[in-house]
Amino acid sequence: MAGLTLASPSAERRVYSPWRETWRRYSRHKLAVVSAFLLLILVLAVVAGPFVWRVKIDDIDIVAGMQGPSLAHPFGTDDLGQDILARMIYGGRISLAVGLAAMLVSVFVGTLIGALAGMSRGALGHGLMWLTDLFLSLPQLPLLLLLIYLFRDGLKAAFGPEGGIFILIVLVIGGLRWMPVARLVRAQFLSIREKEFVEAARALGASPVRQVVRHILPNALGPVIIAGTIDVAAAIIAESTLSFLGLGFPPDTPTWGRLLYDAKDFLDIGPHWALFPGGAIFIAVVAINFIGDGLRDALDARRVI
Amino acid sequence: MSQYVLRRLLIAIPSLLGISLVLFVVLALAPGDPFSELATNPNVPPEVAAALRAKFGLDDPIYLRYLHWLSAMAHGDWGFSFVSRMNVDALILQRLPATLYVIGSAQILALLIAIPVGVYAATKPYSLFDQIANVLAFVGFSLPTFFTGILFILIFSVTLDWLPFVYSSDIKATGIRWVLEMIRQAIMPVAVLGLFQAASMTRFVRSAMLDVIRLDYVTTARAKGLGQAKVIVKHVMRNAMIPVVTLIALQMPAVFGGAIVTEQIFRIPGIGSLLISSILSNDTPVVMAVTFVFGCLVVLFNLIADVLYGWLDPRISLR
């Protein structure tokens, strides 16, 4: 079987440091390298954009409304004559930040629940897995909409219109996406906790927390990083979907999904208005997905490439 | 087999209860009394409001309220829509066929694309076809449905003017014309949803096929002198479909999400657009009921997947 040949290292292959080896494996995936570059450009544009492109996002100029791309407005203008490039730079910050923050929430919750379920040998583990399965069979988008519908006003009052919605969307998207991470972490824990090096740590008197944090968790991180990467893309799509349905950020916060929502009734006279933000969502998501695929090649030690 | 199906049905009940519990807890934790729209109306005298609160059981402890709500749902008393002025169950039944028609057709389209492409790609791994299919699949599931929907409208309705972009529920035609018109207006929504589904399904099919195709019994089948087509279809595919069925069932929540978006874009009068419009108009009984129906549909599709699973792999139903 193929497994036998995999285990024997060839004599002439050079040994690289772990980081270099990871990069070597990652860089084999050409589309992943291109994607990482694209995403870097996108992030730079969104972060540094406002310092270079100094047009205000809410400069209303009805006369210059619904214009296609031009020198004054590279991405054109919307029905009120607001500059779409400036709005996209501003909204992109929020869209990407939501993706990143929601991923952190889902990875944190997923790792916590997966680790607890993977370490406990009794009813707690079963209970947590039942909970995970229950969450997996919840209808996500309807529930997202329901949660936002019910809690929107309360959080708006507490943290202001933009901050409140940001916290709500991040918590809700992250809180409904932790299940795959929990399953991955639990599966990793179940196999790693029986390995000799963990047994050695246990024999030396390491407390369960130390076993987890120092020995088990670092070895279980590979799949979590991959799942986390793909979660960023999923969270960006989820936020855009909410905004597209008119239930995400308030109208004066032009996230990419919100721009599409505003543009969708003007498709016949201003297609550029929908195409640029939609294209930005697509590029961000496809780049992140390809990076995840490249990381899978790079971090899965069993794959020989 | 029938025993297995029965057992699965019994397992589905706790899931339904779990979903209903989650929904109810969410509602109960929400600030304010979403059900008390009438009771807090200043035009309603306080004694009437108190009577209403008592009728809706708003002052009872939470577990009692949950049990009340659950038994009302089980009796078919789903409440009354403030906006549409009709019973919620009648409203949902009226909207459900459009949703099921679009989701079902999209699912069939996705299977028709994903199975042949995935199987062919797995028989020739890393070939040009496989690589192109892989990249297209990545692009396919990275394109959000709302953007593909807009692109389709731009291309096929605005530019080419081939297809209508507003779905109409009462077409003024009869007989074969009606059928053709129904198909024509469903092409874009079904394609948007189906292609999105097909993208991830193709990857499932391909990797499941690759897992099975290396096994020894496949080599045996080849050694017996069976032709390639027979080996792939009769020996590999049947086993490879087992994990695919599970993965497709796990995708169902995402499919309903996509259906809500497509219904909203193409203005299909289904339960997805009903959900959005009732959220925008604060029609709580409808919002709750539609979310619960989506939950039931997810459980139903999981049940169907389990039954298929038992049929594909008889060992499972014996256990």
- CA B319/CA B302 separation, integer angstroms: 19
Q: Are B297 and B252 in contact (CB under 8 A)?
A: yes
Query: Is A180 within a domain?
Result: yes
Of residues A141, A246, A263, nearest to B260 (C-beta)? A141
Query: CA of B23, closest CA in chain A: separation in Å?
Result: 8
Tell me what pLDDT residue A5 has. 47
Could you tell me if A273 and A84 are in contact, meaning their C-beta atoms sit under 8 angstroms apart? yes
Q: Which amino acid is present at B89? A: D
* CATH code: domain of residue A256: 1.10.3720.10
pLDDT at A225 over 70: yes
At residue B112, the pLDDT reads 92
Residue B230 has pLDDT above 80, yes or no: yes
> Would A56 be classed as within a structural domain?
no
Residue A61 lies in a domain: no
CB atoms closer than 10 angstroms to residue B174: 8
CB A170 within 8 A of CB A102: yes
pLDDT at B83: 73
For residue A16, tell me if it sits in a domain.
no
Report chain B's terminal Cα–Cα distance, integer Å.
10
Instruction: Specify the residue for token string 């492409």.
Output: B117
DSSP H or E run through A251: none
Amino acid code (one letter) for B204: F
pLDDT in tens, A261-275: 887 777 777 777 778
Beta bridge partners of B86: B81
Does A177 fall in a domain? Answer: yes
Q: What is the pLDDT of residue A2?
A: 44
Q: Does residue A194 sit within a domain?
A: yes
Better-predicted residue by pLDDT, B145 or B178: B145
Residues of A in contact with B254 (CB under 8 A): 140
Whether A6 shows a pLDDT value over 60: the answer reads no
What is d(CA A258, CA A199) in angstroms, rounded to the nearest whole number?
Answer: 53
- Average pLDDT score, chain A: 81
Give residue A245's Cα distance to chain centre: 20
Q: Looking at chain B, which residue has its C-alpha nearest residue A180? A: B250
Residue A103: band (very low, low, confident or very high) from pLDDT cuts 50, 70, 90: very high
Residue ranges of chain A whose CB lies within 8 Å of a chain B CB: 2, 31, 134, 136-143, 145-147, 149-151, 153-154, 233, 237, 240-241, 244-247, 257, 260, 263-264, 267-268, 271, 274-275, 278, 281-282, 285-286, 289-290, 293
Residue A304 has what pLDDT? 58
pLDDT tops 80 at residue B28: no
pLDDT at A7: 47
Instruction: Evaluate if residue B60 carries a pLDDT over 90.
Output: no
Out of A289-298, B79-88, B233-242, pick the least confident: B79-88
Confidence band (pLDDT; 50, 70, 90) for B318?
A: low
A291: tokens are 């990076």
pLDDT of residue B169: 67
A217-244 vs B145-152: helix crossing angle, rounded to 10? 40
Closest chain A CA to residue B143:
A282
pLDDT in tens, A38-64: 889 888 888 887 777 777 777 676 666
Question: Among the ranges A4-8, A110-114, A253-257, B173-177, which has the highest mean pLDDT value?
Answer: A110-114
Q: Using an 8 Å CB-CB cutoff, list chain A residues near B291.
A: 139, 142-143, 145-146
Q: Into how many domains does chain A fold? A: 1
Please give the Cα distance from B217 to B213 (Å, whole number): 9
Residue A117: how many CB atoms within 10 A of its CB?
Answer: 24
Residue A156 pLDDT > 80: no
Q: Tally C-beta pairs within 8 A across A and B.
A: 130
What pLDDT, on a 0 to 100 scale, did the predictor assign at position B308? 82
Percentage with pLDDT > 70 across chain A: 88
CB spacing of A145 vs B276 below 8 angstroms: yes
Instruction: Give the count of beta carbons closer than 10 Å to the beta carbon of residue A209.
Output: 9
pLDDT value for A1: 41
Q: Strand B80-81 to strand B86-87: parallel, antiparallel, or no bridges (unpaired)?
A: antiparallel
Lowest mean pLDDT segment, chosen from B66-75, B90-99, B300-309: B66-75
**Quick check: is A244 in a domain?**
yes
* Domain span including residue A160: 21-50+81-299
Quick check: B86 and B41 in contact, CB under 8 A?
no
* Cβ contact B264–A293 (<8 Å): no
Task: Please say if the pLDDT value at position A99 is more than 60.
Answer: yes
> Do B257 and A139 make contact, defined as CB atoms within 8 angstroms?
yes
Say what the pLDDT of residue A107 is.
93
CB-based contacts of B80: which residues, under 8 Å, 6+ apart? B86, B87, B88, B285
pLDDT tens, position by position, B152-178: 888 887 777 777 777 766 666 677 777
Residue B173 distance to chain A (closest CA, Å): 28
pLDDT of residue B49: 66
Cα gap B317→B319, rounded to integer Å: 6
Residues 6+ apart with CB under 8 A from B86: B80
B291: closest CA among A138, A173, A238? A138
Tokens of A175: 């809180």
Cβ contact, residue pair A141, B257, below 8 Å: yes
Q: Is residue A13 domain-resident?
A: no
What burial class does residue A45 get, using C-beta atoms within 10 Å of its C-beta: 0-12 exposed, 13-18 middle, 19+ buried? Answer: middle
| CA atoms of A254 and A58, how far apart (whole Å) | 10
Query: Is A141 in contact with B253 (Cβ distance < 8 A)?
Result: yes
pLDDT, average across residues A278-289: 89
Of A136, A149, A275, the CB nearest to B250: A136
Residue A139 is encoded by which pair of tokens?
A: 């209808």
- The reply to whether residue B253 touches residue A137, judged by beta carbons under 8 angstroms, is yes
Cross-chain Cβ contact B144/A240 below 8 Å: yes
Inter-chain contact B158–A267, Cβ cutoff 8 Å?
yes
Which residues in chain B (144-203) have CB-CB distances under 8 A to chain A? Answer: 144, 146-147, 150-151, 153-154, 158
DSSP characters over chain B = -HHHHHHHHHHHHHHHHHHHHHHHHHHHHSSS-GGGTTTT-TTS-HHHHHHHHHHHTTTS-HHHHHHHHHHHHHTT---EETTTTEEHHHHHHHHHHHHHHHHHHHHHHHHHHHHHHHHHHHHSTTSHHHHHHHHHHHHHHHS-HHHHHHHHIIIIIIIS--S-SS--SS-S--HHHHHHHHHHHHHHHHHHHHHHHHHHHHHHHHHHHHHHHTSHHHHHHHHTT--HHHIIIIIIIHHHHHHHHHHHHHHHHHHHHHHHHHHHHHT--SHHHHHHHHHHTT-HHHHHHHHHHHHHHHHHHHHHHHHHHHHH-HHHHH-
| Residue-level pLDDT at A8 | 47
The pLDDT value given to residue A66: 67
- Whether A35 shows a pLDDT value over 70: the answer reads yes
**Candidates A5, A132, A137, partner chain B, best to mutate (most B CBs within 10 A):** A137
Residue range A153-166: mean pLDDT, rounded:
76
The secondary structure of residue A83, as a DSSP letter, is: B
pLDDT of res. B43: 65
Query: In terms of CA atoms, which chain B residue is nearest residue A256?
Result: B147
d(CA B44, CA A264): 41
